Amino acid sequence: MVKPIMKDVLFLGQKSEPATKADLQVGKDLQDTLQANRAGCVGMAANMIGVKKRVIIVNMGFVDIVMFNPALLSKDTPYETEEGCLSLTGVRKTTRYENIEVEYHDMNWKKQRQKLSGWPAQICQHELDHLEGILI
């Protein structure tokens, strides 16, 4: 289901709680909501649709990957960049890492480990920050 975008910075500033199998619907809602906001959005965290759970979605070109309880295993090669966010106005400066490795549960609740570089890695780091209540 397409959900409205949360813009309350007090809510977005809170840390998200671990997701469980009961939150699979949240992953589907993220897929629908990202699809509906495709023009201005490449990824989302669950708190952006009002759910304080550790679920994110990352666009990887042809597919959107939903990650439950994503954990950053490694990161290297920092760089300075500017980002925007659907929940905020304008762009802000931030530091990201060129290469990362994440571990997460997928939509079938299978454990996955994935290496990301460049743009998908940047999106993923932005969404991981959302889970910690960090806004760019």
Give the interface with Zn ion as residue ranges (CB under 5 A): 85
CB of 108 to Zn ion, least distance (A): 26
Distances 57 to 24, 29, 44, 79, 126 between C-alpha atoms, Å: 12, 10, 5, 23, 11
Residue nearest to Zn ion (CB): 85
Shortest reach from residue 87's CB to Zn ion, in Å: 6
Closer of 87 and 114 to Zn ion (Cβ): 87
Which segments of 1-136 does DSSP mark as H helices, in order?
9-12, 24-36, 118-131
Q: Which single residue is written with the structure tokens 């802000």?
A: 92
**In the annotation, is 82 catalytic?**
no
- Take residue 84 and report the two structure tokens written for it: 């925007």
Identity of the residue, 19 or 48, whose beta carbon is nearer to Zn ion in the bound complex: 48
Report the nearest approach of Zn ion to the CB of residue 32 (Å).
18
Catalytic-labelled residue, pool 82, 103, 127, 132: 127
Q: Pick between residue 21 and residue 90 the one whose CB is nearest to Zn ion.
A: 90
- At 47, the amino acid letter reads N
Residues designated catalytic: 127
